[in-house]
């Protein structure tokens, strides 16, 4: 088999004499210089902040070592099969996550648009975490880390450990100095100009790392995808050497099999696998599209999934060894110092660092790691969006300097949209977008749609033929069974359970959002999924319109022909 549907890098110039066809050469789409660049780019986007601050928290919360059972089952039933499916789609067509559907199943092209909406939300919101990390990084270059004491202008005087309503210096630095957080989402407040400058810095770095496509991204990932592992090993070694570290490790891994009967544990495992493996976010298809046609994407799938899962597991040791130390120093149970999400990276861990010798050094190491973990994900999000647009309009954007201008416009628009998230009420919006749009139910439903489209409509056997044509052999038959039955059943069941057991999002476990905020979150989330049926309707309507137009042309031609024949006969 060959990829006849791919077009050459040239276009006909309109308005020219048909006897002399003049073509204009388009810029080459580009490919990874070698396999290592692809592996590092995918590993960089998969091994992100979710591995650092979400997986360890879910593990201890949902039964310690017992949580690895549902996590592994979801990994085998959904993560690996969907990873292979998306990577193979991109590699076989050499197209992004929208235009690749035109070969496999045009009726489901709406899935491609839906994934781009999800990743666009993520590109706007998650880079704010880099802005926070830059702020902390710059603050670390001081004689005393500013979150270590309560002798600062932003402290309230309620920091004393003897106070019943005391807050820690790290908490006040985060809430009052960094965020200036308001009382609720209704109070957007003023722009935090220091965070806005850090956000601008993050976007400038992203622009210059992505502006030449895979030719520049492929070189940048040699540093951004590997250096976080160096930092993780350094922090792990330091954490394990601290007193109380083993108590933290035991708390992290101690198995509680009784938690396995709780359906919430299984839902958490499924959502974590889909989110951390980049399923239905378009990035795997986009990155795979730059592979050589004969690249063994089947083996790559297992290597990258092992790296991602292993990184999550090891990150738990680095985090909980430090939390065990903090528990030991303060005489508090680990359950009271453990946290998830921003609370871990910007309150708990800085608080622990402040208790160590040379806190500035360890703070710099930690926040450099956070910045690079977020940067890789951001690079790939931008590359995915750029790939989709340039593949849809190659004659427009695959010309000199067009890509750079498009990327500049995209980064500028995203920067200005992201300014909402660095206001005093920005964190409320960030968590709303994260909960309802960028993870959870959206990814579950899109996974079901994707499995049905490829497994049943295009045909799992046909995709097996495509993969065999690329790599020379057919994958394990279990992959096909997962696409056809297991993955859609598991994802649909998890979605139904999440709806039945739905609990409204609460900020910091206490603040209840107003009704309009929940409506906004659900609307933004459902809009992504509704693009799938809306595209089907549009596609069918477009097909009917085209058929009517063809009938009209035939009918008109018939009338004109009959008229000429009549004149000739007379």
* Displacement of CA 249 from its chain's centroid (Å): 28
SS3 content of the chain, % helix, strand, coil (to 5): 70, 0, 25
End-to-end CA distance of the chain: 57
Q: Show the tokens assigned to 115.
A: 């994934």
Whether the CB-CB separation of 40 and 222 falls below 8 Å is answered with yes
Ligand-binding annotation for 376, yes or no, is yes
Whether the CB-CB separation of 315 and 52 falls below 8 Å is answered with yes
Local structure of 238: helix, strand or coil: helix
Q: How would DSSP label each residue in 120-172?
A: HHHHHHHHHHHHHHHHHHHHTSSSS-TTS-S-STT--S---TT-TT---HHHH
Ligand-binding annotation for 308, yes or no, is yes
Ligand-binding annotation for 437, yes or no, is no
Q: Which helix (H) or strand (E) holds 506?
A: strand 506-507
Q: How far apart are CA 461 and CA 454, in angstroms?
A: 10
Rg over alpha carbons for the chain, rounded to the nearest Å, is 26
Whether the CB-CB separation of 249 and 320 falls below 8 Å is answered with yes
Ligand-binding annotation for 441, yes or no, is no
Burial (0-12, 13-18, 19+ Cβ within 10 Å), 212: middle
Residues contacting 44, CB < 8 A, separation 6+: 221, 224, 225, 376, 377, 379, 380
Q: Show the tokens assigned to 479.
A: 């992959």
Whether the CB-CB separation of 536 and 453 falls below 8 Å is answered with no
Q: How would DSSP label each residue in 231-242?
A: HHHHHHHHHHTS
Q: Show the tokens assigned to 321.
A: 């060894």
Q: Which residue has the tokens 């049905």?
A: 452
Ligand-binding annotation for 492, yes or no, is no
Q: Show the tokens assigned to 376.
A: 């890789």
Among 424, 422, 431, which Cα is nearest to 511's? 431
Among 106, 435, 498, 507, which Cα is nearest to 275's? 435
Q: Which residue positions form the known binding site?
A: 44, 47, 51, 276, 308, 373, 376
Q: Which residue positions form the known binding site for Na(+)?
A: 44, 47, 51, 276, 308, 373, 376
């Amino acid at each position: 088999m060959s990829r006849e549907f791919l077009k050459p890098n040239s276009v006909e110039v309109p308005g020219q004499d048909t006897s002399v066809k003049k073509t204009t050469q388009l810029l080459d789409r580009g490919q990874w210089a070698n396999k290592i660049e692809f592996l590092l780019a995918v590993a960089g986007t998969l091994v992100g902040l979710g591995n650092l601050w979400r997986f360890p928290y879910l593990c201890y919360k949902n039964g310690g070592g017992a949580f690895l059972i549902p996590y592994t089952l979801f990994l085998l039933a959904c993560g690996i099969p969907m990873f292979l499916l998306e990577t193979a789609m991109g590699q076989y067509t050499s197209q992004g996550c929208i235009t690749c559907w035109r070969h496999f199943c045009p009726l489901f092209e709406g899935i491609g648009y839906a994934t781009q909406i999800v990743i666009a939300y993520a590109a706007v919101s998650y880079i704010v975490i880099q802005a926070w990390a830059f702020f902390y990084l710059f603050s670390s270059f001081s004689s005393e880390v500013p979150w270590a004491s309560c002798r600062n202008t932003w402290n309230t005087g309620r920091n004393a450990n003897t106070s019943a309503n005391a807050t820690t210096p790290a908490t006040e630095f985060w809430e009052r100095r960094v965020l200036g957080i308001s009382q609720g989402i209704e109070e957007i407040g003023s722009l935090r100009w220091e965070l806005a400058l850090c956000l601008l810095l993050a976007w400038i770095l992203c622009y210059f790392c992505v502006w030449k496509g895979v030719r520049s991204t492929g070189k940048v990932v040699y540093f951004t995808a590997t250096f976080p592992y160096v930092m993780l090993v350094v922090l792990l070694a330091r954490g394990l050497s601290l007193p109380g570290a083993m108590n933290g490790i035991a708390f992290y891994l101690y198995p509680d099999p009784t938690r396995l009967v709780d359906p919430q544990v299984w839902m958490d495992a499924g959502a974590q696998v889909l989110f951390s493996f980049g399923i239905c976010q378009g990035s795997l298809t986009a990155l795979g599209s730059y592979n050589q046609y004969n690249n063994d994407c089947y083996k790559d799938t297992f290597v990258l999934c092992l790296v991602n899962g292993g990184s999550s597991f090891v990150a738990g040791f680095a985090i909980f060894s430090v939390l065990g130390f903090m528990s030991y120093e303060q005489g508090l149970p680990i359950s009271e110092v453990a946290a998830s999400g921003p609370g871990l990276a910007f309150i708990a861990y800085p608080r622990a660092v402040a208790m160590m010798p040379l806190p500035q050094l360890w703070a710099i190491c930690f926040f450099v790691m956070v910045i690079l973990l977020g940067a890789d994900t951001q690079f790939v999000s931008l590359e995915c969006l750029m790939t989709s647009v340039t593949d849809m309009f190659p004659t427009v954007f695959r010309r000199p300097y067009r890509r750079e201008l498009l990327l500049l416009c995209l980064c500028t628009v995203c920067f200005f949209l992201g300014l909402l998230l660095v206001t005093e009420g920005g964190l409320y919006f960030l968590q709303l977008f994260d909960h309802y749009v960028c993870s959870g139910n959206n990814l579950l439903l899109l996974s079901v749609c994707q499995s049905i489209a490829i497994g049943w409509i295009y045909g799992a056997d046909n995709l097996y033929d495509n993969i065999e044509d690329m790599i020379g052999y057919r994958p394990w038959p279990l992959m096909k069974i997962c696409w056809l039955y297991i993955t859609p059943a598991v994802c649909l069941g998890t979605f139904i359970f999440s709806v039945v057991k739905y609990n409204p999002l609460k900020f910091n476990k206490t603040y209840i959002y107003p009704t309009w905020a929940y409506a906004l979150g659900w609307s933004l989330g459902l809009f992504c999924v509704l693009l799938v049926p809306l595209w089907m309707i549009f596609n069918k309507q477009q097909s009917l319109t085209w058929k009517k137009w063809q009938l009209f042309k035939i009918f008109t031609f018939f009338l004109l022909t009959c008229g000429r024949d009549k004149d000739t006969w007379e």
